[in-house]
Amino acid sequence: MALNPVVLCLSQSGYKTARKIADILGSQIHGREGRVVDVEATFENALDHIRVLFSSGTPIVGVCAAGILVRGVAPLLVDKLNEPPVVAVPDDGSTVIPLLGGHRGANRLARQIAIGLELMHQLQLQVI
């Protein structure tokens, strides 16, 4: 994985999970304009933004429904050996799903996120 992943957050309800993932990866959060606050970058149209990131080879971790990520990149799918990782995580962080880019580190990225989220969860339980 050459480029640092971008964490996409489409709603404020997923912000807490997006922030945890960004901290785990040392990544920026890109949030939907008017819906998510306290992010490093905003975008108006999710599908357009996903396509720009994917086209540039940027790994994408979407804290959103997997379907929007699939719809965003579908027109661009050409070569599985060269496509960047695309990983989906629901707002609650309960699962981490590598959708595309297994040949370019998606499985490793998903594992890193899952382990990091689990460790953060365990630390929260110990602090309480």
Per-residue pLDDT tens digits for 56-94: 999 999 999 999 999 999 999 999 999 999 999 999 999
Look at residues 58, 57, 65 and name the one whose alpha carbon lies nearest to residue 41. Answer: 58
Q: How many CB atoms lie within 10 A of CB 122?
A: 10
Whether the per-residue pLDDT at 126 is higher than 60: the answer is no
Cα–Cα dist 52/63, whole Å = 17
Going 51 to 64 to 31 to 116, the CA torsion angle's sign is: negative
Q: What is the mean pLDDT of residues 43-55?
A: 98
**Low-confidence winner among 11-20, 30-39, 93-102, 116-125 (lowest mean pLDDT):** 116-125
Domains recognised in the chain with CATH numbers: 6-127 (3.40.50.11220)
List Cβ neighbours of 86 (8 Å cut-off, separation of 6 or more).
54, 59, 60, 62, 69, 73, 98, 99, 100, 101, 106
1 vs 57, residue with greater confidence: 57
Cα–Cα dist 96/88, whole Å = 6
Q: What is the mean pLDDT of residues 14-19?
A: 97
Per-residue pLDDT tens digits for 115-124: 999 877 666 6
Whether the per-residue pLDDT at 19 is higher than 50: the answer is yes
Which pTM does this prediction carry?
Answer: 0.92
Strands (E), 3-47: 6-9, 28-32, 41-43
